[in-house]
Chain A
Amino acid sequence: MSKANPEFWRWQEYHRIMPNKKWSKNDVITAGVDVGSVGSKAAIMVNGEAYSWGITRTGSNSPESAKKALDYALEDTGLRVTDLKYIVGTGYGRVNVPMANKAITEIACHAKGANYIWGPSVRTVLDVGGQDIKAIRIDETGRVVSFLMNDKCAAGTGRGMEVFADLLKIPIEEIGEISLKVEQEPEPVSCTCVAFAKTEAMGLLRKGWSKEKVLAAYTRAMAVRMANLIKRVGLEKELVVTGGQSKNIGIVSRIEVILGVKTLPMPRWREDGLDPMVAGALGAASLGKLLYDKAQKG
Chain B
Amino acid sequence: MTLITHYGYCDGSGEYYIVIDSDKCNGCNKCVLACPQKALQLEIEFIDLEEKTVAAVVELHRKKIKYTCASCKPENNNTPCALACESKAITSVWIPR
Contacts and interface: CB of A to CB of B under 8 A. Distances in A.
Interface of A: 104-105, 108, 132, 139, 143-153, 225, 228-229, 232-233, 287, 290-291, 294
A291 B66 contact: no
Given A232-B15, A232-B17, A148 B6 contact: yes
B1 A145 contact: yes
A291 B7 CA distance: 28
Contacts of B10: 151, 225, 228-229, 232
A104 B46 contact: yes
Given A143-B1, A151-B8, A228-B10, 13 more contacts: A143-B48, A144-B3, A145-B3, A148-B8, A149-B62, A150-B9, A151-B9, A151-B11, A151-B65, A151-B66, A152-B9, A290-B49, A294-B49
**Interface of A: prevailing SS:** mixed
A241 B55 CA distance: 28
8 contacts: A143-B48, A145-B3, A146-B5, A147-B4, A148-B6, A148-B17, A151-B63, A232-B17
A150 to B, nearest CB: 8
Contacts of B15: 232
A294 B51 CA distance: 13
Contacts of A108: 46
Chain A CB within 10 Å — which of B7, B9, B10 has the most? B10
Residue among A144, A149, A151 with most chain B CB within 10 A: A151
A225 B4 CA distance: 20
Interface of B: 1-11, 15, 17, 45-49, 62-66
A105 B62 contact: no
Given A105-B46, A143-B48, A228-B10, A152 B2 contact: no
A150 B46 CA distance: 20
Nearest to A132: B63
A263 B63 CA distance: 28
A153 B48 CA distance: 30
